[in-house]
Amino acid sequence: MPVNDDPSRIENASRAAYDGRAEVRFAAIETRLAALEVDVAVIRTSFATKDDVQSLREEIHAATERIMKVLYEHKLEFNNALAAQREDFHVALVRQREEFGAALARQHEEFSTALARQHEEFNMALMEHRVELHKTLMSHTWKVYGLAIMLLGGVYYIARYVH
């Protein structure tokens, strides 16, 4: 007779059911197993026949199969819920990636606009400095021209009247 007294095969306490249906099923199965244990105790004390023991074994085997079926259904429900969560996570990740891409594109556009404005302001300032430099250069050119004319006039005066 296989050992069916191992509680870890029936229910793992660390894996709690994620909905009430599995808990109800487990409670019904536990109730049935308790009744079977009572039947086993009665059979042992009443010197049961071989047919009674065989009937009890078949019932225990059927209960084990029902438990395994419930566990398998619970595993399928859990896997389906996990797949749904994975899909929801994937959708949220895609949405977040799109939002991030849109925000990055907006930021890139704002940066490009600011850079173009700064480039234009720099060109305007450079043009203003060029005009100021040109005015200053022309002013110095006229001063040098005036000084050169005065020097030539002085040299001419000295050459003509002093000699």
Max avg pLDDT among 69-73, 74-78, 107-111 = 107-111
Please check whether residue 147 lies inside any domain of the structure.
no
Residue 110 lies inside a defined structural domain of this protein:
yes
Task: Tell me the pLDDT of the chain averaged across its residues.
Answer: 84
**Cα–Cα distance for residue pair 22/74, rounded to 1 Å:** 7
Q: Is residue 135 situated within a structural domain?
A: no
Length of the chain in terms of residues written:
163
- 16 pLDDT exceeds 50? no
Residues 19-52 pLDDT 10s: 556 677 777 778 877 777 777 776 666 666 778 7
- Tell me the mean pLDDT in the region 107-129: 97
Residue 19 DSSP one-character state: S
8 A C-beta contact, residue 10 and residue 67: yes
- Contact, 69 vs 24, CB < 8 A? no
Q: Is residue 77 situated within a structural domain?
A: yes
How many CB atoms sit inside 10 A of residue 41's CB?
A: 10
pLDDT in tens, 145-156: 999 999 999 999
| 3 state SS of 2 | coil
What radius of gyration, in Å, describes the C-alpha atoms of the chain? 50
Could you give the number of structural domains in the chain? Answer: 1
User: In this structure, is residue 156 part of a structural domain?
Assistant: no
Rounded to two decimals, the pTM is 0.43
Residue 138, exposed/middle/buried by CB under 10 A (0-12, 13-18, 19+)?
Answer: exposed
User: Does the residue 143 lie in any domain?
Assistant: no
- Please state whether 132 falls in left (phi above 0), alpha (psi between -120 and 50) or beta: alpha
Q: In terms of residue numbers, what domain contains 98?
A: 7-125
Q: Is residue 62 part of a domain?
A: yes
| Assigned domain for 161 exists | no
Residue 129 has pLDDT above 90, yes or no: yes
